[in-house]
Amino acid sequence: MTRRRLLPAILLAGILASVLLLAGCKSTEKGVSTWSANGGDPSFEKQEEVSADKLMQFGVYPQSKADSKIQSDIKSKVTIDEETGLWNECDDETMYARYDLETGYFIYAAKVDGVRQEEQYYMQCGEDLFLVEPLQWIVLETVGSDSIIISNKVIDGGRKYSDLYGECTWETSSIRDWLNGTGDYDARTGSAYNTQLNFINRAFTSDEISRIQTVSLTAADNETYGTDGGASTTDKIYLLSAAEFEEYFKAEDSEINAMAYATDYAVARGVSVGEDSEANWWLRDPGAKTYMLGVNRAGTVTEGGYSVHDTTEGIRPVLRVPTSLLQRVEVSAE
């Protein structure tokens, strides 16, 4: 094949690589946060996080910021060739690293005495890389052989609840589309979600996705503000309703901390956090007009909610899976 015929393919590969790099963490239009320093609660104080022995693992997602040396090594040695537009691969005495075009991850493995160690995966967000790690979940309820689980931390953000202007419901929301990999990624341009951009395909394997239960959901009307909850839906991945939040987090016998803390990746995505990384997060019920309810940093439901165009709120996915798929988090002995 001649160089002239190769050029379009090379350019296409370079463009696709750039899209995937930005897909995990593109620049977002910052909304106006409605937070006060204490989350709107004068009695605000940090609560203990859920202990590791009570958490379960299922799926993976970018979370912790990578070690500075690993970041430096990957960025300096895995680059795009200026002539070919293709990614350079590094395989020297100290490390192996490459960029995987299909997943949008950097793959890295240190070498000890020339022997390649276990591979690790990193997602780029802005100028930093974030380690892809097992997702940790809190079991909210056991129903027969299934468990209803919510992410232990706020794992993503920087996303508008709705890409369109005007009133919004869970049914019509962009966040619902992003979580489930359905509908339009950007309603203004009509560009569809693909496997590199949505949550469900990045976090889970095809086999895991097939085992996640599809559940029927409703969102309550907001009588205080006269806003419509929207039509019922069936989804694999969803957000809690305000009533479910109260049931699971605020019941007298509940041992679950209502405050949530954000991962490094979520903060890089644009989630607003306090000094201990406590964050506010979305629910699926409507608030005031063009607002949706959320949980504030102090762990209580906001009265009027947050603007559907605010990008500083975080996301805690909820799903129902067979309990047999969940693995206990290994707790190292001290």
Give the pLDDT confidence of 166-185 residue by residue, as tens digits: 789 999 999 999 999 886 54
pLDDT over threshold 50, residue 16: no
pTM value?
Answer: 0.85
Share of the chain above pLDDT 90, in %: 67
- Mind listing the pLDDT tens digit for each residue in 202-214? 999 999 999 999 9
Average the pLDDT over 207-231 and give the result.
Answer: 95
Share of the chain above pLDDT 70, in %: 79
- pLDDT in the model for residue 227: 95
pLDDT over threshold 70, residue 5: no
Average the pLDDT over 71-90 and give the result.
Answer: 94
- Among the listed ranges 50-54, 117-121, 253-257, 291-295, which one has the minimum average pLDDT value? 50-54
Average the pLDDT over 56-63 and give the result.
Answer: 97
Average the pLDDT over 248-254 and give the result.
Answer: 83
Average pLDDT value for the chain: 84
Q: Are 179 and 202 in contact (CB under 8 A)?
A: no
pLDDT over threshold 80, residue 334: no
- pLDDT in the model for residue 252: 76
**Cross-strand pairs, 186:** 191
Give which of 291, 203, 277, 295 is closest to 240, Cα–Cα: 295
Q: Are 306 and 285 in contact (CB under 8 A)?
A: no
Average the pLDDT over 270-287 and give the result.
Answer: 95
Report the length, in residues, of the chain.
Answer: 334
Domain range list for the chain: 3-8+65-130, 29-60+135-328
Question: How many whole angstroms separate alpha carbon 55 and alpha carbon 138?
Answer: 5
Q: Compare 33 and 260 and report the one with higher pLDDT.
A: 260
- pLDDT in the model for residue 329: 86
How is 149-216 classified by DSSP, letter by letter? EEESSB-EE---S-SSSS---TTT-HHHHHHHT-SEEETTTTEEP-TTTSHHHHHS-HHHHHHSPPEE
- pLDDT in the model for residue 253: 76
Q: Are 108 and 96 in contact (CB under 8 A)?
A: yes
